[in-house]
A and B are shown apart, each in its own frame.
Chain A
Amino acid sequence: MSAWRRLLKDKLAVAGLFVIAIVVGAAVLAPWLAPYSPYDQLFDGLTLEGSPLPPNGKFWLGTDLLGRDLFSRLLYGARTSLTVGVAANGVAVLIGAALGTLAGYLKGFGRDVIMRFTDLMMAFPALLLAIALAAIFAPSLWIIAIVIALVNWAQLCRVIYAETLALSERDYIEAARALGAGMRRILWRHLIPHLIPTILVYATLGIATTVMFEAMLSFLGVGVRPPTPSWGNIIFESQSYFLSAPWLVFFPGMAIVVLALSFNLVGDALRDALDPTQRGRQ
């Protein structure tokens, strides 16, 4: 629990946690918080000439090109962006941690195959590969999440591999082996518990990456498809119009930056809080 207390001492991390809590709350409570339906093209949502409305008393953040309420779309967009980001990162962490632990423990041929494959994934331009995959497969939220996961696990795999390798050379692992512990017992009882802090840090930092990935894919038009709102595709839809309606880019843009920043701040503070070399220094 001392790690948790150390985390709460970091003001930036607390601010990050606060923002994340607000966004999660907004996403969960979207149906109750949203003043309008995110899909309704409101009769009074456009000017007489058919232009979107800037932020005003009725539409707090303005309306979009089709006269839909931007605030409501942002609330529902938080659902999409968080769901895709968290799911994608969950899958990426699972793949990366599993392969990394296995490679570090197996050594020999199995290790070579896994690590060569990881090198290969690192050499691929992740976003371009994701664009290619997303353009190939039929777009649905879950497929986008999996595509993002497929191009984002390699870095964690390398980190976990290096750490497993270092751990497995420690004497206590040797001792466990000498006592007759099998591979499964060593993995689950002696290796994986020590890897949890690292996995936790990367699981937090990774969400910043996957949220940004979803935004970039959606911005390029190969991510979440309209009319389902996501923070990235709101910008995609209004990009050609943004000089006359900058609020359509500004608000979703800020939402993405603030959320990614919060996850980065919390992840970074978590790394300091969990780092064993920091322990006892205070």
Chain B
Amino acid sequence: MMRYLAKRLTAAGIILVGISVITFCLIFLVPADPISMIAGRNATAETRAQIRHQLGLDRPLPVQYGDYVVRLAQGDLGRSYAQKTQVSELIRARLPATLLLMAAGIVAELVIGLPAGIYAATRRGEAVDRGVMMLSFIGISAPQFIVGLLLLYLFAYMVGWFPLSGYGGISHLVLPAITLGIAGGGTYSRLMRSQMLDVLRQDYIRTARAKGLPERTVLLTHALRNAVLPVIAQVGYDMGFLITNAVIVESVFGWPGIGQLMWQQGIQRLDYPIIMGVTITAALFIVLGSLIADLIVPLIDPRIRLR
């Protein structure tokens, strides 16, 4: 177990270094000139040189990269061009809202996906099964912003059950969570169904049925217990989809998380440090998510050989 842990941690570390290299390169590709952004267009050559020196942009690239990594490791994501505040502060202020949305999204996608998948598996090949699979395909094929706008129009504007946008009580959370749940639910119902079908093929299920146990007991206690755990572990590997979808959903519902930060203050004002900061934060989530899943999977299923 310790060797496995060390290996996984090393792999995660290598990926973090790679992420820092790529984001560092991206910053150099940015066409906007940070010096003009800070000094204004009409600055003299002298002020420009001074700012360049202050920012450390006159040093060799490897030195700048080393400096960048040290600052990243300390949680320093640079300063926003427009607001002059630390990007890490901006992100920290917005992160709780995004985490809440992601948690609600996970609950929604599992609540939608798992029962649908289980039910489809027990009715394999029947019309219900095909119907569920078709719905899951639609969920997978519908971009979140379209689902979100549609739900917004129907349930917030036409029916008026939920507020149009913003942040507050549970009522604000329902539509964004369902939007996330529809996409994720499509994926998880398919996964749950195939896991369930795999397990139902096993010998011990036949034994349980032969003992005369009611089908309900066979399905819910014998089969489900083994089939559901890998599906839940998959949540860790799907962190990338979840956080990306959360970013989109936030911009549709005016949810004040890091996605809205990126969209309103990063993209619309071309504030690159914010764009990079949110990207790095999201990448960190993805690495953590798959690391946690990697550690949980062998605990769930001892048959998986640790390599």
- Residues on A close to B: CB < 8 A? 12, 116-117, 119-120, 122-129, 131-133, 135-138, 208, 212, 215-216, 219-222, 235, 239, 242-243, 246, 249-250, 253, 256-257, 260-261, 264-265, 268
Contacts and interface: CB of A to CB of B under 8 A. Distances in A.
B282 interface: yes
B157 A208 contact: no
A117 B251 CA distance: 31
Given A212-B141, A212-B143, A136 B286 contact: no
B124 to A, nearest CB: 15
Contacts of A131: 262, 267, 275, 279
A246 B18 CA distance: 44
Contacts of A138: 31
Contact of B150 (A117, A122, A253): A253
B63 interface: no
Contacts of A12: 134
Interface in B1-41: 11, 14-15, 18-19, 22, 26, 29-31
A24 B146 CA distance: 22
10 contacts: A131-B262, A132-B26, A132-B275, A216-B143, A239-B149, A256-B143, A257-B138, A257-B142, A260-B141, A261-B137
B281 to A, nearest CB: 9
Interface of B: 11, 14-15, 18-19, 22, 26, 29-31, 134, 137-138, 140-146, 149-150, 153, 157, 164, 240, 243-244, 247-248, 251, 262-263, 266-268, 270, 272, 275-276, 278-279, 282-283, 286-287, 290
Contacts of B279: 124-125, 128-129, 131-132
Name which of B15, B145, B244 has the most chain A CB atoms within 10 A of its CB: B145
Nearest to A127: B244
Nearest to A261: B141
